[in-house]
Amino acid sequence: MYKSVEQWAEIADIEEKGNVWFTEYQTNDLGISFRIRAVLESKKTPFQLLTVIDTYEFGKIMLLDNAVMVSDREEFLYHEYLAHIPMSAHPAPKDILVIGGGDGGTVREILKHPSVESVKLVEIDREVVEAARKYFPDLSYGLDDSRVEILYTDGIKFVQSAKNKFDIILVDSTDPRGPAVGLFSPQFYKDAHKALKEGGILSAQTESPVLHPTIFEEIYSSLAKAFGAGNLWTYLGWTPLYPSGMWSFCFAGKNSHPLKNFDANRATQMSQITQWFNSEVHKAAFAAPNYIKDLLPEGTEQKE
């Protein structure tokens, strides 16, 4: 594991040998490895170690604190799940808040919905946005849309001051460590609930229920305290480079339902400009296996 800028620089010096690998350890006993074509950049930002590598199998990959955030080849899977499922279950999403997501992928997907009037991207680390603009232009181009405002500040504090402002809040965060820890707390979810308009929806990535079931269970317990278990669902998607390959997302509604309020016609139209999302994917994502149901709080509809 290359834990510093200096160690990444050493790798860059020998990468011409053609057999240099990077491993992300997803648990203490499991890792995923990539053969590196080039180390494009590695720097210590005020918040984290940011590294961009070019790999043979997945193209360019952005790492934060040596964890995979995004890759050229399969980024659309994560971003389409996070954005389109809540967006398609809201009658007219106009005002959207994205916390994290400095790579721009979630914003890009949001802007495909014609009802959107305003997107606020709250990203604590300016250098993530700068790296995305430089190395992932197909991912980040939506950040230049006139409807998008980028705020370089703490998402936790931002949500505390927002009341009844947003139709959708999307938390596109790193894992619950470092600067992202507070984005998984009961207080943050309570503040997010207050920041939503009536009928609003909070969606967020909620880790791997396969490799990190305890973390998954804790997240949904915290969400239930803020939204009520009866307004809480999990949905599942496929993210090949994230731990276990099966990833989870929450749908926390402020009197909104992911299936009863789902606009199948709009989802079908959206499927003309997406690579993965369509109405069938939306419905199937909420089919929770028994193993997952057992981890959800009592009182959630999926557990009944």
**What integer is the mean pLDDT of 225-236?**
97
Predicted confidence at residue 180, as pLDDT, reads: 76
At 2, is the pLDDT very low, low, confident or very high (cuts 50, 70, 90)?
A: low
At 168, is the pLDDT very low, low, confident or very high (cuts 50, 70, 90)?
A: very high
198 burial (CB, 10 Å; 0-12 / 13-18 / 19+) is exposed
Domain limits, CATH 2.30.140.10, in the chain: 5-71
User: Does residue 272 carry a pLDDT above 90?
Assistant: yes
- Ramachandran area for residue 207 (φ above 0: left; ψ -120 to 50: alpha; else beta): left
Give the residue among 83, 101, 235 at the shortest CA–CA distance from 167: 83
The label of the residue with tokens 């305890």 reads 214
Which residues neighbour 156 within 8 Å (Cβ) at sequence distance 6 or greater? 182, 183, 188, 191
At 13, is the pLDDT very low, low, confident or very high (cuts 50, 70, 90)?
A: confident
**What integer is the mean pLDDT of 274-293?**
96
Predicted confidence at residue 16, as pLDDT, reads: 66
At 67, is the pLDDT very low, low, confident or very high (cuts 50, 70, 90)?
A: very high
At 172, is the pLDDT very low, low, confident or very high (cuts 50, 70, 90)?
A: very high
Give the residue among 55, 71, 44, 63 at the shortest CA–CA distance from 15: 55
At 304, is the pLDDT very low, low, confident or very high (cuts 50, 70, 90)?
A: confident
**pLDDT tens digits, one per residue of 111-151:** 999 999 999 999 999 999 999 999 999 999 999 999 999 99
* Angstrom distance (rounded) from CA 282 to CA 69: 23
Tell me if 139 sits within 8 A of 26, measured CB to CB: no
Class of the CATH domain delimited by 75-303: alpha beta
Work out the percent of the chain whose per-residue pLDDT is above 90: 89
* Angstrom distance (rounded) from CA 257 to CA 260: 5
User: Does residue 267 carry a pLDDT above 90?
Assistant: yes
* Angstrom distance (rounded) from CA 214 to CA 116: 36
Active site residue 54: no
Work out the percent of the chain whose per-residue pLDDT is above 70: 98
Class of the CATH domain delimited by 5-71: mainly beta
At 3, is the pLDDT very low, low, confident or very high (cuts 50, 70, 90)?
A: low
* Angstrom distance (rounded) from CA 36 to CA 14: 11
> What is the three-class DSSP state of 150?
strand
Domain limits, CATH 3.40.50.150, in the chain: 75-303
* Angstrom distance (rounded) from CA 302 to CA 286: 8
Predicted confidence at residue 83, as pLDDT, reads: 98
Count how many residues are written for the chain.
304
Beta strand 196-205 with 166-172 is parallel
> What is the three-class DSSP state of 277?
coil
* Angstrom distance (rounded) from CA 181 to CA 91: 32
The whole-angstrom distance between residue 292's C-alpha and the CA centroid of its chain comes to 19
Mean pLDDT across the chain, nearest whole number?
Answer: 94
Which residue out of 103, 167, 172, 191 is catalytically annotated?
172
**pLDDT tens digits, one per residue of 86-115:** 999 999 999 999 999 999 999 999 999 999
* Angstrom distance (rounded) from CA 63 to CA 5: 12
The whole-angstrom distance between residue 260's C-alpha and the CA centroid of its chain comes to 24
At 208, is the pLDDT very low, low, confident or very high (cuts 50, 70, 90)?
A: very high
The whole-angstrom distance between residue 205's C-alpha and the CA centroid of its chain comes to 5
User: Does residue 56 carry a pLDDT above 90?
Assistant: yes
User: Does residue 1 carry a pLDDT above 70?
Assistant: no
